[in-house]
Amino acid sequence: MLVIKQQLYQKNMAKKLTTRADNYSAWYNEIVAGADLAEHSAVRGCMVIKPYGFAIWEKMRDQLDHMFKETGHQNAYFPLFVPKSLFEAEEKNAEGFAKECAVVTHYRLKTDPNDSSKLVVDPNAKLEEELIVRPTSEAIIWNTYRGWIESYRDLPILINQWANVVRWEMRTRLFLRTAEFLWQEGHTAHATKAEALEESEKMVNVYSEFAQNWMAMPVIMGSKSESERFAGADETFTIEALMQDGKALQAGTSHFLGQNFAKAFDVQFTNKEGKKELVWATSWGVSTRLMGALIMTHSDDLGLVLPPKLAPIQVVIVPIYKGEEQLEAIRSHIAPLIDSLKSAGVSVKFDDDDTKKPGWKFAEHELKGVPLRVAIGNRDLQNGTVEIARRDLNTKETIEFTDAFSTITTRLEEIQESLFNRALDFCKENITEVVTFEEFKSVLDKKGGFILTHWDGTGETEEAIKKETNATIRCIPFDEAPLKGKCVYSGAESNQRVIFAKAY
Amino acid sequence: MLVIKQQLYQKNMAKKLTTRADNYSAWYNEIVAGADLAEHSAVRGCMVIKPYGFAIWEKMRDQLDHMFKETGHQNAYFPLFVPKSLFEAEEKNAEGFAKECAVVTHYRLKTDPNDSSKLVVDPNAKLEEELIVRPTSEAIIWNTYRGWIESYRDLPILINQWANVVRWEMRTRLFLRTAEFLWQEGHTAHATKAEALEESEKMVNVYSEFAQNWMAMPVIMGSKSESERFAGADETFTIEALMQDGKALQAGTSHFLGQNFAKAFDVQFTNKEGKKELVWATSWGVSTRLMGALIMTHSDDLGLVLPPKLAPIQVVIVPIYKGEEQLEAIRSHIAPLIDSLKSAGVSVKFDDDDTKKPGWKFAEHELKGVPLRVAIGNRDLQNGTVEIARRDLNTKETIEFTDAFSTITTRLEEIQESLFNRALDFCKENITEVVTFEEFKSVLDKKGGFILTHWDGTGETEEAIKKETNATIRCIPFDEAPLKGKCVYSGAESNQRVIFAKAY
Strand-pair category, A74-75 with A157-166: parallel
pLDDT at B8 over 70: no
Q: pLDDT tens digit string along A443-494?
A: 999 999 999 999 999 999 999 999 999 999 999 999 998 999 999 999 999 9
Residue ending a domain, choose from B361, B389, B417: B417
Residues of chain A positioned with their CB less than 8 A from the CB of B1? 72
8 A C-beta contact, residue A25 and residue B174: no
Q: Does B59 lie in the same domain as B33?
A: no
Q: What is the rounded end-to-end Cα distance, in angstroms, of chain A?
A: 36
Mean pLDDT for B393-409 is 97
Specify the pLDDT at position B61: 98
CA gap B50, B131 in Å, rounded:
29
DSSP states of A50-63 as a string? -HHHHHHHHHHHHH
Residues of chain A positioned with their CB less than 8 A from the CB of B143? 42
Interface test with B, best of A2, A167, A170 (most B CBs within 10 A): A2
pLDDT at A139 over 60: yes
Say which of A51, A86, A109 has its CB closest to residue B42.
A86
User: What is the distance in angstroms between the Cα of A152 and the nearest Cα belonging to chain B?
Assistant: 10
CA gap B292, B251 in Å, rounded:
9
Q: Is residue A376 part of a domain?
A: yes
How many other CB atoms are there within 10 angstroms of residue A227's CB atom?
11
Sequence-separated (6 or more) residues with CB below 8 Å from residue A265: A86, A89, A90, A139, A142, A143, A145, A146
User: What is the distance in angstroms between the Cα of B438 and the nearest Cα belonging to chain A?
Assistant: 40
Mean pLDDT for B224-239 is 97
Mean pLDDT for B485-492 is 97
Say which of B43, B47, B154 has its CB closest to residue A4.
B154
Q: Cβ contact (<8 Å) for B54 and A48?
A: no
Sorting pLDDT into bands at 50, 70 and 90, what band is B137? very high
Say which of A7, A51, A105 has its CB closest to residue B105.
A105
Q: pLDDT tens digit string along B373-382?
A: 999 999 999 9
Strand-pair category, A115-121 with A315-320: unpaired
Residues of chain A positioned with their CB less than 8 A from the CB of B117? 88, 91
Sequence-separated (6 or more) residues with CB below 8 Å from residue B137: B78, B82, B161, B163, B165, B185, B187
Q: Cβ contact (<8 Å) for A117 and B147?
A: no
Q: Cβ contact (<8 Å) for B54 and A46?
A: no
Residues of chain B positioned with their CB less than 8 A from the CB of A182? 77
Q: Is residue B306 part of a domain?
A: no
Mean pLDDT for B220-234 is 97
Nearest chain A residue to B356 by CA distance is A153
CA gap A47, A32 in Å, rounded:
11
Count how many domains chain B has: 4
CA gap A174, A170 in Å, rounded:
13
CA gap A299, A292 in Å, rounded:
11
User: What is the distance in angstroms between the Cα of B173 and the nearest Cα belonging to chain A?
Assistant: 15
The mean pLDDT of chain A is 95
8 A C-beta contact, residue A160 and residue A203: no
pLDDT at B12 over 60: no
For residue B405, the Cα-to-chain-centroid distance in whole angstroms is 32
The mean pLDDT of chain B is 95
Interface test with B, best of A41, A132, A142, A152 (most B CBs within 10 A): A41
Say which of A54, A103, A140 has its CB closest to residue B42.
A140
Residue ending a domain, choose from A276, A298, A320: A298
Mean pLDDT for B457-468 is 97
Say which of A39, A80, A101 has its CB closest to residue B107.
A101
Residues of chain A positioned with their CB less than 8 A from the CB of B104? 102-105, 133
pLDDT at A14 over 70: no
pLDDT at B136 over 60: yes
Q: pLDDT tens digit string along A279-321?
A: 999 999 999 999 999 999 999 999 999 999 999 999 999 999 9
Q: Kindly state the DSSP code that residue B503 receives in the 8-state scheme.
A: B
CB–CB contacts below 8 A, A to B: 229
Q: Cβ contact (<8 Å) for A94 and B119?
A: yes
8 A C-beta contact, residue A269 and residue A155: yes
Sequence-separated (6 or more) residues with CB below 8 Å from residue A318: A351, A358, A361, A362, A365, A373, A374, A375, A376
Say which of B78, B86, B180 has its CB closest to residue A80.
B180
CA gap B84, B101 in Å, rounded:
11
Q: Strands, DSSP E only, in A207-323?
A: 220-223, 235-242, 248-258, 268-270, 276-278, 280-287, 315-320
Q: Is residue A330 part of a domain?
A: yes
CA gap A99, A126 in Å, rounded:
22
Specify the pLDDT at position A15: 65
How many other CB atoms are there within 10 angstroms of residue A123's CB atom?
9
Sorting pLDDT into bands at 50, 70 and 90, what band is B10? very low
Q: Does B221 lie in the same domain as B343?
A: no
Q: Does A219 lie in the same domain as A119?
A: yes
Q: Cβ contact (<8 Å) for B154 and A3?
A: yes
Say which of B106, B166, B168 has its CB closest to residue A103.
B106
8 A C-beta contact, residue B287 and residue B119: no
Q: Is residue B329 part of a domain?
A: yes
CA gap A268, A281 in Å, rounded:
12
User: What is the distance in angstroms between the Cα of B278 and the nearest Cα belonging to chain A?
Assistant: 17
How many other CB atoms are there within 10 angstroms of residue B8's CB atom?
16
Q: Is the peptide bond before A135 cis (omega within 30 degrees of 0)?
A: no
- The helix (H) or strand (E) run that includes residue B432 is strand B431-433
8 A C-beta contact, residue A270 and residue A286: no
Q: Does A351 lie in the same domain as A253?
A: no
CA gap A444, A453 in Å, rounded:
12
Q: Does B463 lie in the same domain as B363?
A: no
Specify the pLDDT at position B82: 98
Residues of chain B positioned with their CB less than 8 A from the CB of A105? 103-106, 121
CATH code assigned at A471: 3.30.110.30
Nearest chain B residue to A91 by CA distance is B117
Say which of A101, A150, A157 has its CB closest to residue B108.
A101
CATH code assigned at A151: 3.30.930.10
Q: pLDDT tens digit string along A423-455?
A: 999 999 999 999 999 999 999 999 999 999 999
Say which of B77, B86, B103 has its CB closest to residue A104.
B103
Specify the pLDDT at position A8: 43
Interface test with A, best of B1, B52, B80, B153 (most A CBs within 10 A): B80
Specify the pLDDT at position B170: 86
**Strand partners of residue A81:** A133
Q: Kindly state the DSSP code that residue A125 receives in the 8-state scheme.
A: G
Q: Is residue B257 part of a domain?
A: yes
Nearest CA among B62, B177, B153, B120 for reference residue A101: B120
* Largest interatomic CA distance in chain B: 82
CB crowding A29-60: b at 16 or more within 10 Å, else e? ebbbbbbbbbbbbbbbbbbbbbbbbbbbbbbb
Say which of A51, A103, A111 has its CB closest to residue B121.
A103
Sequence-separated (6 or more) residues with CB below 8 Å from residue A374: A315, A316, A317, A318, A386, A387, A388, A389, A404, A408
CATH code assigned at A373: 3.40.50.800
* Largest interatomic CA distance in chain A: 82
CA gap A391, B407 in Å, rounded:
51
Q: Is residue B307 part of a domain?
A: no
CA gap A329, A311 in Å, rounded:
28
Residues of chain B positioned with their CB less than 8 A from the CB of A75? 51, 54-55, 58
Q: Does A366 lie in the same domain as A238?
A: no
Q: Cβ contact (<8 Å) for A6 and B117?
A: no
A22 exposure class (CB count in 10 Å sphere: 0-12, 13-18, 19+):
exposed
Q: Does A321 lie in the same domain as A178?
A: no
Q: Cβ contact (<8 Å) for A42 and B140?
A: yes
Mean pLDDT for B86-109 is 96
Interface test with B, best of A58, A92, A101, A190 (most B CBs within 10 A): A101
CA gap A432, A488 in Å, rounded:
13
Q: Does B327 lie in the same domain as B182?
A: no
Nearest CA among B394, B478, B391, B461 for reference residue B204: B478
Q: Cβ contact (<8 Å) for A101 and B118?
A: no
8 A C-beta contact, residue B134 and residue B180: no
CA gap B477, B484 in Å, rounded:
15
Q: Kindly state the DSSP code that residue B354 receives in the 8-state scheme.
A: T
CA gap A176, A297 in Å, rounded:
13
Residue ending a domain, choose from A354, A384, A419: A419
pLDDT at B14 over 60: no
- The helix (H) or strand (E) run that includes residue B88 is none
Q: Does A259 lie in the same domain as A225?
A: yes
Say which of A47, A105, A154 has its CB closest to residue B103.
A105
Q: Is residue A1 part of a domain?
A: no
Structural domain harbouring A399:
308-419
CA gap B75, A123 in Å, rounded:
37
Q: Does B262 lie in the same domain as B396?
A: no
Q: Cβ contact (<8 Å) for B118 and A88?
A: yes
Residues of chain B positioned with their CB less than 8 A from the CB of A166? 80
Residues of chain B positioned with their CB less than 8 A from the CB of A80? 46, 80, 133, 164, 166, 180
Say which of B111, B121, B131 has its CB closest to residue A43.
B131
Sorting pLDDT into bands at 50, 70 and 90, what band is A1? very low
Q: Does A292 lie in the same domain as A172?
A: yes
Q: Cβ contact (<8 Å) for A42 and B86?
A: yes
Q: Is residue B488 part of a domain?
A: yes
Going A189 to A194 to A199 to A204, the CA torsion angle's sign is positive
**Three-class secondary structure of residue B13 per DSSP:** helix
Interface test with B, best of A65, A73, A74 (most B CBs within 10 A): A74
Mean pLDDT for B194-201 is 98
Q: ipTM higher than 0.90?
A: yes
- The helix (H) or strand (E) run that includes residue A410 is helix A404-429
Q: Cβ contact (<8 Å) for B106 and A105?
A: yes
Nearest chain A residue to B84 by CA distance is A119
Specify the pLDDT at position A170: 86
Interface test with B, best of A111, A119, A183 (most B CBs within 10 A): A119
Amino acid (one-letter) located at A38: A
Q: pLDDT tens digit string along B438-459?
A: 999 999 999 999 999 999 999 9
Interface test with B, best of A60, A107, A175 (most B CBs within 10 A): A107
Q: Does B131 lie in the same domain as B100?
A: yes
